[in-house]
Chain A
């Protein structure tokens, strides 16, 4: 009962915009780190499929997972790691098989010009610096912790941001001396942040998974969108935003 109420409210609030007359509306819940690339994906898809309207619901992967588990009428879920997708699949909320569609690697992001002189992961142990990570519950945070553990660094973290965009913003404004984010995020910030590659030994990569959600309100549209993301056109867009494709 409660779930259906929540789902109903979600549907009314998120999906309640204007529907294209007679067309299909595809609600895509995508990880925050996909904000830019899926924006481009939406435009390209809508050009290729006139009458279709892609609506993006962007948030941390785990937040999106919770919404879907609560019964939100989502068509497509794109997660920034495998684990969230596995949980959704385990709850029988996936239609078909999830597909790996992109990889992203972590970088250290520093404000443009690197005023604090960050050189690598070792600097994350320095208490006098202001350092940020994604919260451990979102993929970018989990991977960052793994990378730091691999490097044998115990970080002196000043903030665990709820998603990668919030983290990146604080690097852009110069309030953080360094943060660990995706390489794609560094690219998207233009000149405002510089990226420092992690050494091969600790280099952490993350997988992006996509799936059609069970009981998707627009199942055909959802399938078309997933196919588009996996197509050559989709891969080209992903590459142009700094993602690696399988």
Chain B
């Protein structure tokens, strides 16, 4: 490194301080890990079930967010309608609301006696609380705002004249969306999807409040960690280690491939 490129010392110190906040807990986790028992712990039913449920819930939430969140972001960014600011606030609510409260309001709305839940049960027989569907709903509720916020920002920053140019070249509105708008905001969409997935993987409060906690059906990794923390510390540490390993792998490996925008 040449002298010119050396970063200012003060900045470096602050940056390292910030890094320490993330690095020290990880090191502590590694120190606490019962490496000898790890293989046995990881083979247990609880871990396998939690891992499977977390994968199902986080990937489902990400897919749902992609299907309904991107159009929602488009609506907020591109369509002027009265009360748009209010709607945007509503979408951001899960970011502010404590997840436990989020779970509680979901229960009020979609629980068996909830406004919508009651009708849902009568119409389809589906009861969301205490089911894997409930986990997916809770996790999507908490994580989707990350996608909406990222994509809305990207749509706002996108120079709308490109879309106009595409239209003058004969592209229908749908073609413009598919071939111009979407490819141009793709880096942000990808970043938003990854953030959404990461948040979904770590979701705890809304899940346990809305969907309950039962192994194999609603007990995701964070719930399993929470329960294990009170009884079997080693299992809790092993589960946490899995979460860290899975998320770090995804975040690091995928970054180079398709979400450099973040």
Complex Cα spacing A161 to B218, Å: 11
What sequence of 0s and 1s flags, for each residue 203-219 of chain B, a beta carbon within 8 Å of any chain A beta carbon? 00000110111100110
* Contact status B212-A158, CB under 8 Å: yes
**Alpha-carbon separation in the docked complex, A169 to B227 (Å):** 19
User: B230 CB to closest chain A CB, in angstroms?
Assistant: 4
**B252 part of interface (Cβ distance < 8 Å):** no
Hey, which chain A residues are within 8 Å of B208, CB to CB? 161-162, 166
Task: Please report the total number of A residues contacting B with Cβ < 8 Å.
Answer: 23
User: Most chain-A Cβ atoms within 10 A of its Cβ — which of B212, B214, B229?
Assistant: B212
Q: Please provide the chain B residues from 167 to 191 with a CB less than 8 Å away from any CB of chain A in the complex.
A: none
Known contacts A137-B231, A173-B107, A175-B129; A162 and B212 CB within 8 A of each other: no
Q: What distance in Å separates the Cβ of A174 from its nearest Cβ neighbour in chain B? A: 4
Assess whether A132 is interfacial by the CB under 8 Å rule.
yes
The answer to whether B212 touches A161 (Cβ under 8 A) is yes
Known pairs A2-B28, A158-B130, A173-B111; A60 contacts B212 (CB<8 A): no
Known: A160-B213, A166-B208. A174 touches B229 (CB 8 A): no
B165 CB to closest chain A CB (Å) equals: 53
Q: Total interface residues on B, using CB and 8 Å? A: 25
Inter-chain contact A157/B214, CB cutoff 8 Å: yes
Q: Is the CB of B226 within 8 A of A175?
A: no
Q: Report the nearest B residue to A136, measured CB to CB.
A: B231
A97 to B113, CA, bound (A): 47
In the complex, whether B108 has a CB less than 8 A from a CB of chain A is yes
Which of B104, B130, B209, B230 makes the CB contact (< 8 A) with A66? B230
CB pair A159 B214 closer than 8 Å: yes
The answer to whether A162 touches B129 (Cβ under 8 A) is no
Tell whether B88 is near chain A: CB-to-CB under 8 Å: no
- Docked Cα-Cα span, A137 to B46, in Å, equals 15
Residues of A contacting B113 with CB < 8 Å?
A: 173-175
User: What distance in Å separates the Cβ of A60 from its nearest Cβ neighbour in chain B?
Assistant: 7
- B-contact bits for A133-163, CB 8 A (1 contact / 0 none): 0011110000000000000000001111110
Binding site for A on B (CB under 8 A): 28, 31, 104, 107-108, 111-114, 127, 129-130, 208-209, 211-214, 217-218, 226-227, 229-231
Q: Determine if A63 is an interface residue (Cβ-Cβ < 8 Å).
A: yes
New A-B contacts (6) at CB < 8 Å, excluding given A132-B212, A159-B212, A162-B213: A62-B231, A130-B112, A159-B211, A173-B112, A173-B114, A174-B111
A and B contact pairs by CB, cutoff 8 A, 5 listed: A62-B230, A132-B212, A135-B227, A161-B212, A170-B129
- Cα–Cα distance between A2 and B218 once the two chains are bound (Å): 33
Residue numbers in A under 8 Å from B127 (CB-CB): 130
Q: How far, in angstroms, from A62 to B127 measured CA to CA in the complex?
A: 31
Contact B213 A138 (CB under 8 A): no
Question: B112's closest neighbor in chain A, by CB?
Answer: A175
Task: Please tell me which one of the listed residues A136, A159, A166, A173 contacts residue B218 in the complex, with CB atoms under 8 A apart.
Answer: A159
B227: contacting residue among A130, A137, A166, CB under 8 A: A137
Q: Provided the pairs A158-B130, A159-B218, A162-B213 are in contact, do residues A175 and B107 lie with their beta carbons within 8 angstroms? A: yes
Taken together as a complex, chains A and B put the C-alpha atoms of A93 and B229 apart, in Å, by 19
Q: Which of A1-33 contact B (CB under 8 A)?
A: 2
Chain B contacts of A159 at CB under 8 A? 130, 211-214, 218
Complex: A170 Cα to B100 Cα, angstroms: 13
Cβ–Cβ < 8 Å partners of B130 in chain A:
130, 158-159, 175
